Structure 1
Amino acid sequence: MERPYILHMFTPGRQMSPFDVNMAADAGYQVLAPYTDVTLDAVRGLTQDAIFSRSPKGLARTGIFIGGRDAVLAADMLDRAKKAMVPPFAVSLMADPSGAYTTAAAMVASVEAELVAMGAGGLSGQRVVVLGGTGPVGRIAGVMAAMAGAHVALSSRNGIDVAEEAAQQTGQRFGVTLHGISGGDRDAVRRSIADADVILATAAAGVQVVSAEDLAVATRLKVAADVNAVPPEGIAGVGVMDKGTPVAGTAARGLGALAIGNVKYQTQQRLLRSMNEATEPLVLGYAEAFEAARALLRQA
């Protein structure tokens, strides 16, 4: 009898995301085993329980997925699981907390592709402002944009101190330079986007962070991307289906939540399938998610 494909799913939260469970099943995993309330210190033991229960050959059909809602903690858990391997006893690993890695990858890769299509040369040298930048998607989107050469500022509605703390912590953890900027009130938002080339809206669903009046001050704006699919739109004038659509009253192009979401879905599915089909162990984190989204868009 052939061994089944098993995916062990770790989360520090109280429940594993149903979205991730469905995605893993669709990628070919036959047995899905969720583990909740998993601490960083528990990762080593759980990982070694998984790797020593099968022969090295059987481990090709075994994987570990790390979820949760904390983008930094997920990266730490991924590192801890990787260090727990005892070759040749090793399995493929993937982290995607709250979909933050694949959502951010889809968003930033889509912006990059749009800039190239406009003749703006990609993200290198662009000034990127991430509104809602202290959340999991915002932080990782900022990291990816910085990896691509952009000058990135994380904005927080809670003010400059919170934004700067998030920027420093995230930049140090992921090895990039990020800055904090205040989005505490309308004037602060307008000051933050006045000289932005790119706006990434990653705030809570159903919250409009940039109004049409705010956009009027963003005279350098090239691309506005929004991952909020719940009305009202996070950026006024950017519809959920927009894919390079002109944003009214500006010279910018818009990327909407469902257009980005389609790239996110395909990116996550591609990564899970690559784990499922791998003959050698893979480690898939935020950087691999970004490269997968870029490759997907290059093939489009």
Structure 2
Amino acid sequence: MSTSPEKPTEKPAERPYILHMFTATPQMSPFDVNMAADAGYQVIVPYCNVEAAMVANLTQDAIFSRGPKGVSRTGIFIGGRDVMLAADMLDAARKAMVPPFEVSVFADPSGSYTTAAALVALVERHLAKAYGMELGGKRVLILGGTGAVGRVAAAMAASLGADVSIASHGGQARAARVSDEINARFRIPTKGVSTATPAETRDALGEAEIVFATALAGVQVVSAQDLAHARHLLIAADVNAVPPEGIAGVNVVNNGKPITGLANATGAAAPIGIGALAIGNVKYQVEHRLFIRMRTGGKPVYLGFPEAFDEARAVAAGLD
């Protein structure tokens, strides 16, 4: 009499890493989807046109279906274009957690948190390296400052004690409105300035020690003639990678090189430039590291622009 061989015991399959991606816009950024996949997420699901009031229900749907062990392999990413709304959505997701059903959440609307973090961290690094100075107390002008990256960079720089001016080509009223919004939300002091005319742009540049260009891609906000009025300039940093240069003379690959043909008022070495690819390299590493931290940290984390800035500082320090 023959007996059938025993079947080997099947091991339960490992649960996949799932990332739920919320955005208030009609589509999720392909850039962020790629970054999530490269960081090891296996199932990536975008949810578009998400309103802040929907976040709590979506979050609880994500956490209760997998059990306490499954939530460790689940994450939420918040994208979109509105930096204030993304911050609200991050808060809403955090409040919706019911420990031990709790997952990591990372907000980076339009890449603004990680891009601004890279921008400010690199400026901080080069300011110390080239001049032995800190960002605190420096006069910072943010051109295109009413956009997503400009707003976050303003909050970061002001939190370090910089004297921040948020500039708008739309005029003083627009600049002042955005400055007031940022000041109220983050409890920091900034001021709005108009750069609606060449004369206003040159007046603003004449006072600045640090210039951030965070305007739309492919838009030059500072010409060579404008830059000649920047008498006190130490560093000019530009996030625009699409020709023409956002700041004339600041090439996309610049990473602390002097700006050709420009000298500051003290007669010291020419001001230095930081270009978009240098900033983008740090931004990429920061976003990748934060996605990895979500997936491998072992406990839930909530990642907004303060955490992005801490990571950017670590990346920038490692460039020496």
Could you say which TM-score interval applies, normalised by the shorter chain?
Answer: over 0.9
Task: Find the residue that maps to 1:7 and give its secondary structure.
Answer: strand
Q: Aligned residue pairs: how many?
A: 300
Give the deviation of 1:103 after TM superposition. 0.4
Query: What's the counterpart of residue 144 of structure 2?
Result: 132
CA distance in 1, matches of 2:134, 2:20: 37
**CA displacement, residues 19-51 of structure 1 (integer Å, 9 cap, x when unaligned):** 000000000100001000000000000001011
* Bigger Cα Rg: 2
Tell me the alpha carbon deviations over residues 28-82 of structure 1, each in whole angstroms, 9 at most, x when there is no partner: 1000010000000000000010111111121111000000011111001001111
Question: Which residues of 2 match residues 202-213 of structure 1 at below 5 A?
Answer: 202-213=214-225
The match for 1:151 is 163
**Residue 300 (structure 2) aligned to one of 275, 281, 287:** 281
Structure 2 match to 1:6: 18
Cα deviation digits, residues 130-168 of structure 1 (max 9, x gap): 000000000001111111221101000001110010011
Aligned to 1:39: 51
Q: Does 2:117 match 1:117?
A: no
Identify the range of structure 1 (228-237 vs 120-129) with the bigger mean alpha-carbon deviation. Answer: 120-129
- Picking from 100, 118, 138, the partner of 1:106 is 118
In structure 2, list runs of 5 or more residues that go unmatched. Answer: 1-12, 264-269
From 175, 178, 183, the counterpart of 2:190: 178
Read off the aligned partner of 1:169 and give its amino acid letter. E
Question: What letter is aligned with 2:229?
Answer: V
Q: 1:267 aligns with which of 274, 277, 286?
A: 286
Structure 2 letter corresponding to 1:210: V
Over the residues paired in the alignment, what is the CA RMSD in angstroms? 0.8
Deviation at 1:193, TM superposition (A): 1.2
Would you identify which runs of 4 or more consecutive aligned residues in structure 1 move more than 2 Å?
A: none
Distance 2:216 2:307 in 1: 25
Task: Please tell me the residue identity of whatever aligns with 1:32.
Answer: I
Letter in 1 for 2:97: M
1:169 to 181, 190, 208: 181
Within 2, Cα distance between the matches of 1:42 and 1:24? Answer: 22
Answering whether residue 268 of structure 2 is matched by residue 256 of structure 1, we say no
Superposition deviation, residue 88 in structure 1: 1.2
Structure 1 counterpart of 2:171, which letter?
A: G
Structure 1 unaligned regions, length at least 5? none
Match of 2:9 in 1: none
Cα distance, 1:175 vs. partner?
2.2
TM-score by length of 1: 0.99
Q: Secondary structure at the match of 1:48?
A: helix
Q: Distance in 2 between matches of 1:276 and 1:11?
A: 20
Give the counterpart letter for 1:265 in structure 2. Answer: Y
Distance 2:22 2:106 in 1: 10
State the SS of the aligned residue for 1:180: strand
> Alpha-carbon deviations, 1:205-254, whole Å to 9, x = none?
11111111111111110000001111110000000000001012232100
